[in-house]
Structure 1
Amino acid sequence: MGGLLPRLVGLGPAGGDGLPVRLSNRTYAGTRQGPVRELGFDQPLLWVAVALMAWGLVMVYSASIALPDNPRFANYAHTHFVVRHGFSILIGLVTALMAFQFPLRTWEKLAPWLFAVALLMLVLVLIPVIGKGVNGARRWIPLGIMNFQPSELAKLAVLLYAADYMVRKMDVKERFFRAVAPMAVAVGVVGMLLLAEPDMGAFMVIVVIAMGILFLGGVNARMFFLMALVVVGAFAVMVMTSEFRRQRVFAYLDPWSMEHALGKGYQLSHSLIAFGRGEIFGVGLGGSVEKLHWLPEAHTDFLLAVIGEEFGLIGVLVVISLFLWLTRRIMHIGRQAIALDQVFAGLVAQGVGLWMGFQAFINIGVNLGALPTKGLTLPLMSYGGSAILLELTALAIVLRVDYENRQLMKGGRS
């Protein structure tokens, strides 16, 4: 009996080093204790981002496959846009992998320099011999392998600079002129350069990122709401003093009128037709009619309309749910970092959450006709090399924040 008991509990020579587990009706074996594997970063966040990118790649192909039938794109192959988009994703993944290697303290040191580089590129893009103009807007710098959009770099640069700024001004955050005014001037300079392109959509995203970080950093609530009123008033003035923007707003209010249906309301009216055709379950992948030269920019700003037509209400709800989950997860990582006294890292992560969430909200609202038409892509999904590159870099920084959080919670160093 003395020899049998050790074998039953897995301590004798016939057993392992754990308790017995029944493998069949006749045999028993001891369970072995192995090392517990801990994930180094938030894998669900990574896989949701990958799922959005993969779905976006498929939809870019579906939305752009008929574009070469248009004389404007007659020299392009049917796979032109999807190949370029896939190449942009590949470059973005490599850049993201490199960005993940840098500790947050390195990003904190680089923040002012990156902001200066973004300002320089925003100036360079306005120079005719350097910047590339398309449809009356000068937003791109040709770099051979892709047309780089400085406004996308400006989003990340302002985000990092605002987080670094709040950490440096933490002791005077209750004083308006010492805490808020310098940041407002910096954002104002960026805004003037963006409006000169013009790119009001990117400016709106940057303002939301900067104001969000100031608020989350602890700026006095009364000052914040006063600043918000000033910003809303400034945007209202910009709309009312610009004939082009004013027409867009009126077209959004009544896209079906004879005056707007073939003008500023053309994109919105055909986007709504696409959602209507999709109904609940959609017409099936590749079955969209609106992408056949009816809906302009179907592979960029209005990709969601093609998703709505081919996957129906179910597909649209899945996209919205994924972005809600993504934003909530990123904000949680930021709150966790702040709780661990990593204020810069936490503000950066929450800034990325504001960026992804607000831009997705605007794009979805525009596609559904709930907001005036604005040239903002759907993050991680729409065609656009610069956007994908910077969005993946931002997500890599968030994963780095989560990685350092886990290191700190295990008692190590970030």
Structure 2
Amino acid sequence: MTASAALSWNWQWRQPLFWPWLGLLMLGWIMVASASTGIADYYTGNAAYFSIRHAAYVVIGATAVAIVSQIPLAFWSRIEPLFLLLGIVVLVLVFVPGIGHEVNGSRRWLNLGIIKIQASEIAKLAAVFYIAGYLVRRQAEVQQSWKGFMKPFIILGLMVALLLMEPDFGAVVVLMGAALIMLFLGGVKAGQFFLLVLGVGAISVFVVMLEPYRVERLTAYMDPWAPEHVYGSGYQLTQSLIAFGRGDWFGVGLGESIQKLFYLPEAHTDFVFAIWAEETGLLGASLALGLLAVFIAMVWQVAWRAQRMGQVYGAYIVAGIASLLALQMVINLGVNTGLLPTKGLTLPFFSYGGSSLLVCCAMVGIILRVAHETPLTTEAEDD
């Protein structure tokens, strides 16, 4: 592969992953445009306010993919410690007055004026790069000793502590889930891995029981229709389930949702999929789920191909990103459908939110770069 080919700007669309990503981006904009009309008109007088802003984020996100996909993996390897430091620093900055921004009692955002960035989005990606680099440098130690296996959790423990202080338990679940998957793929001993999983599970239960509002969410999840929950902690779930019920097979029609008119809170962010299901029914929901499944499957395919071609660092990075995205998708969809307790996590590429979309697009740029650096034989000959 020549240097000029590596720096070209016209290869991204030839990667198979490019088209499912573009489909998710466009479908997400349609979802947000439809789900946000009521709240946008109420707060701004312009029903298209959030639709226009999301369209701008889509353009910026596409630009981010084009730029990030030009960055060689060798560069990420060199700046990995600085990236990890940035991930920790942004988690600290959310507690600094004037920089950290509080919403609904949680300090999760950095206020940069024109955009508010969720610190956990940067921290999760930084953690993926850190673990990937650690597994490459210390693979034998990780596989052979408890010490090598446990060292990464010193850094991860610090990140988890900062996330719980915000609080952002959902980000903790996604971060630790991705870390465990990456370590499993790194070849840790089965006994060590399952002991760690049990330990993380026990700590998670303790953290949930520590906060009354988390316990309340859990009890509401068990019976959201109970009189003490239906207009309280179970309200979002019941309204989401009503949206799915109204959607039936073919939906009530795009733009015709009733639940988005202030019945279902966070209709254009955390519960955008419920509104989509209401408007397009089982058919539209299945289409969206199918596109998500194809996208995640193709990301894992990039990781497996990189592993086979000897690009271990890139394989670990893509596997970590795939785990982050897949876990967040599963949790958000589980919350929307009542399979999991209510938790504030956006649905990647679909939910409204600038920082979430931009980081997801940056992840896609990284995946495309790994795919570009580990081409199939025929692709290599073409270059």
Give the TM-score band, short-chain normalised: over 0.9
Alpha-carbon distance in structure 2 between the residues aligned to 1:411 and 1:388: 31
SS of the counterpart of 1:374? Answer: coil
The amino acid of 1:209's aligned partner reads A
Q: Is the 8 A contact 2:40 2:50 kept in 1?
A: no
The amino acid of 1:252's aligned partner reads Y
Choose the corresponding residue for 1:178, options 139, 147, 161: 147
Choose the corresponding residue for 1:108, options 74, 77, 93: 77
Choose the corresponding residue for 1:98, options 54, 57, 67: 67
2:43 is aligned with 1:43: no
Choose the corresponding residue for 1:223, options 170, 192, 211: 192
Alpha-carbon distance in structure 1 between the residues aligned to 2:136 and 2:324: 20
Name 1:20's counterpart in structure 2.
none
2:373 is aligned with 1:404: yes
Name 1:358's counterpart in structure 2.
327
Alpha-carbon distance in structure 1 between the residues aligned to 2:349 and 2:62: 12
SS of the counterpart of 1:225? Answer: helix
Name 1:315's counterpart in structure 2.
284
Deviations, residues 321-361 of structure 1 (Å, cap 9, x unaligned) = 11211111111110111111110001111111111111111
Alpha-carbon distance in structure 2 between the residues aligned to 1:283 and 1:306: 10
2:217 is aligned with 1:248: yes
Alpha-carbon distance in structure 1 between the residues aligned to 2:239 and 2:328: 21
Alpha-carbon distance in structure 1 between the residues aligned to 2:104 and 2:379: 53
SS of the counterpart of 1:174? Answer: helix
Mark the runs of 5 or more structure 2 residues left unpaired by the alignment.
1-9
Query: Displacement of 1:64 after TM fit?
Result: 0.9
Name 1:10's counterpart in structure 2.
none
The amino acid of 1:56's aligned partner reads G
SS of the counterpart of 2:107? Answer: strand
Choose the corresponding residue for 1:67, options 8, 14, 39: 39
2:28 is aligned with 1:56: yes
Alpha-carbon distance in structure 2 between the residues aligned to 1:42 and 1:160: 26
What are the residue-to-residue correspondences of 1:116-127 with 2, within 5 Å?
116-127=85-96
- Relative to structure 1, is the Cα distance of residues 409 and 122 closer, same or farther in structure 2, using a 3 angstrom cutoff? farther
SS of the counterpart of 2:143? Answer: coil
Alpha-carbon distance in structure 2 between the residues aligned to 1:320 and 1:189: 34
- Relative to structure 1, is the Cα distance of residues 187 and 42 closer, same or farther in structure 2, using a 3 angstrom cutoff? farther
Alpha-carbon distance in structure 2 between the residues aligned to 1:81 and 1:251: 31
- Relative to structure 1, is the Cα distance of residues 41 and 58 closer, same or farther in structure 2, using a 3 angstrom cutoff? closer
TM (norm. structure 2) is 0.94
Name 2:307's counterpart in structure 1.
338
Alpha-carbon distance in structure 2 between the residues aligned to 1:156 and 1:299: 24
Alpha-carbon distance in structure 1 between the residues aligned to 2:245 and 2:21: 28
Alpha-carbon distance in structure 2 between the residues aligned to 1:365 and 1:274: 15
Q: Is the 8 A contact 1:304 1:364 kept in 2?
A: yes
Deviations, residues 138-194 of structure 1 (Å, cap 9, x unaligned) = 111111221111111111111111101100111212244332222111111101111
Choose the corresponding residue for 2:345, options 367, 376, 379: 376
Deviations, residues 301-326 of structure 1 (Å, cap 9, x unaligned) = 00010011001011111122112111
TM (norm. structure 1) is 0.87
SS of the counterpart of 2:110? Answer: strand
Alpha-carbon distance in structure 2 between the residues aligned to 1:408 and 1:40: 18
The amino acid of 2:29's aligned partner reads L
Alpha-carbon distance in structure 1 between the residues aligned to 2:16 and 2:375: 15
Query: Displacement of 1:114 after TM fit?
Result: 0.6
Query: Displacement of 1:280 after TM fit?
Result: 0.5
Alpha-carbon distance in structure 2 between the residues aligned to 1:409 and 1:106: 26
Query: Displacement of 1:216 after TM fit?
Result: 0.7
SS of the counterpart of 1:141? Answer: strand
Query: Displacement of 1:409 after TM fit?
Result: 6.5
Aligned-residue CA RMSD in angstroms?
1.9
Query: Displacement of 1:241 after TM fit?
Result: 1.5
Name 1:287's counterpart in structure 2.
256
Name 2:226's counterpart in structure 1.
257
Name 1:145's counterpart in structure 2.
114
Q: Is the 8 A contact 1:108 1:164 kept in 2?
A: yes
Greater shift in the superposed pair: 278-287 or 137-146? 137-146
Name 1:390's counterpart in structure 2.
359
Deviations, residues 76-132 of structure 1 (Å, cap 9, x unaligned) = 532221122122222222222111111112112222211100100110111122101
The amino acid of 1:134's aligned partner reads V
Greater shift in the superposed pair: 169-178 or 203-212? 169-178
Alpha-carbon distance in structure 2 between the residues aligned to 1:264 and 1:42: 47
Q: Is the 8 A contact 1:41 1:406 kept in 2?
A: no
SS of the counterpart of 2:295? Answer: helix
- Relative to structure 1, is the Cα distance of residues 219 and 257 closer, same or farther in structure 2, using a 3 angstrom cutoff? same
